[in-house]
Structure 1
Amino acid sequence: MDLDALVEKIREAIIGDLRKEFGEFKAEVRGQLEGFRIAIETMNKRMDSLERRMDSLEHRISRVEGKIDAVNAELSKRIDATNARIDALTNDMNKRFEEINKRIEETNRRIDSISAELSKRIDSINAELSKRIDETNKKIDAINAELSKRIDATNARIDATNARIDALKIDMDRRFDEMAKKFDETNRRIDALAIGLTDVKAELKVIRDRDEIIKDM
């Protein structure tokens, strides 16, 4: 086998390995971004469910307020106090909803920013790889008796490129983990809010029971 054929096979092997590794990296990044999209859709569904529960709660509060006018002065005072607590809770929940919405919007902006940054880095890596491959091809064209030494140098440069790609992947994994933790924190706050709504329902039940007792009297 002549020198040119050997050089061509080496070049094709190097380029093939680089393309394969880069393709696997891109596929992994796409999968992670799809996971973020599914998480956001799940969050939106939970928000819709909470809004429906709020509508139901407001309807029940309206029914209770319609019965308050028929009770005695003492019970009216207690119901007024309960209504004040409900109003305060409603205002607090509205503030929390606004805060959750702001955090979701901020998360979306960060995802967009990360996606844009990732695209820029991928383009930069493509350009860098293309440049290095061109330089390697030029050097291969000029190979002489020192072929073995130059091949070792080229392999060292490829290892450095792989190390940079691995470092980039580790950094992206770390950022994705941070985003997942923030989503988990949001879910915990939503669960705490759901518990608060359950307590309100219990208080409303007590009011209805008292109203029934008064009617029976």
Structure 2
Amino acid sequence: MNLEKILEKLRDVIVGEIKEEFKTLRISVESELSGYRLAIESMNAGIAGIEARIAGIEERMSSLEKRQSALEIRVDSINNRIDDLNKRIDYIGGEIDEIRTELKHEIMQNTARIDQTNIRIDLLQDKLSEISNKLAEAVSNKEIINDIILSIERLESKIST
């Protein structure tokens, strides 16, 4: 990704600088080559150092590329886990909606049953009130009848005497 491009540009810049150094070295070596064997040997040592630096840089770049690959794999894995979690959340959300719909339906049915029960209770209360009134009337009538019976018994007892 961006890291690869940066690493590639960094490598190109470093390699370009090194190539420039090589060109400069070769130019100076060729001009002074005629008898400076010691100078050539020290230059060879410098070149060896540069080559060692290049090898180190390439090694680090290789290590960075491996780390980048490992990180990309981890990011992909995390993205997959996030996708799975989103799917589970969507599924649970759907189930919640279904349950909510079922509960609304059940509540509406229960409300209708309660309303019907309340109507029946009101009817039964009216009937109970009616029966209570009739019972009170019957008790009152019974007392009147008992009073009449008592009066008749008194009259009979007076007549018999």
Under TM normalisation by the shorter chain, which class is it?
0.5 to 0.7
* Alignment match of 1:76 (pick from 28, 31, 37): 37
* Amino acid corresponding to residue 69 of structure 1 in structure 2: L
Separation in structure 2 between the aligned mates of residue 110 and residue 76 of structure 1, nearest angstrom: 49
Q: Cα RMSD (Å) of the superposition?
A: 2.3
Higher RCO, 1 vs 2 (CA within 8 Å, ≥6 residues apart): 1
The residue type paired with residue 79 of structure 2 is S
Alignment-derived partner of residue 91 in structure 1 = 51
Shift of 1:134: 2.2
**Residue 10 (structure 2) pairs with residue 46 (structure 1):** yes
CA contact (8 A) 1:69 1:76 kept: yes
- 2:11 maps to a residue whose letter is M
Distance, in Å, in 2 between the alignment partners of 1:80 and 1:62 is: 10
Distance, in Å, in 2 between the alignment partners of 1:140 and 1:105 is: 52
Counterparts of 2:48 and 2:12 in 1: how far apart (Å)?
22
Cα 1:69–1:45 change in 2 (3 A) is: closer
What is the match of residue 114 of structure 1?
Answer: 74
- The separation in 2 between residues aligned to 1:80 and 1:94, in whole angstroms, is 20
Equivalent position amino acid for 1:117 in 2: S
The whole-number CA distance in structure 2 between the counterparts of 1:47 and 1:70 is 35
Q: Is the 8 A contact 1:68 1:76 kept in 2?
A: no
Partner of 2:96: 136
TM-score, length of structure 2 as denominator length: 0.54
What is the alpha-carbon distance in structure 2 between the residues aligned to residue 84 and residue 55 of structure 1? 15
- Going from structure 1 to structure 2, the CA distance change for 1:105 and 1:42 (only over 3 Å counts) comes to closer
| Residue among 15, 20, 27 paired with 1:56 | 20
Q: How many Å apart are 1:39 and its aligned residue?
A: 4.3
Matches within 5 A, 1:128-207: 128-143=88-103
Which of 105, 108, 130 is the matching residue for 2:65?
105
1:183 is aligned to none
Shift of 1:61: 1.8
Give yes or no for the alignment of 1:125 onto 2:98: no
| Cα separation, 2, equivalents of 1:60 and 1:50 | 15
Identical residues among aligned pairs (%): 10
**Structure 1 residues 84 and 42, CA, compared in 2 at 3 Å: closer, same or farther?**
same
Cα distance in 1 for partners of 2:22, 2:6 equals 25
Q: Residue type matched to 1:96 in 2?
A: G
- How far apart are 1:102 and its partner, in Å? 0.7
Q: Could you list the per-position Cα deviations for residues 97-125 of structure 1 after superposition, in whole angstroms to 9, with x for gaps in the alignment?
A: 22122123213312321331132112211
Q: Deviations over 1:182-208 (max 9, x none)?
A: xxxxxxxxxxxxxxxxxxxxxxxxxxx
Quote how far apart the aligned CAs of 1:56 are: 0.9
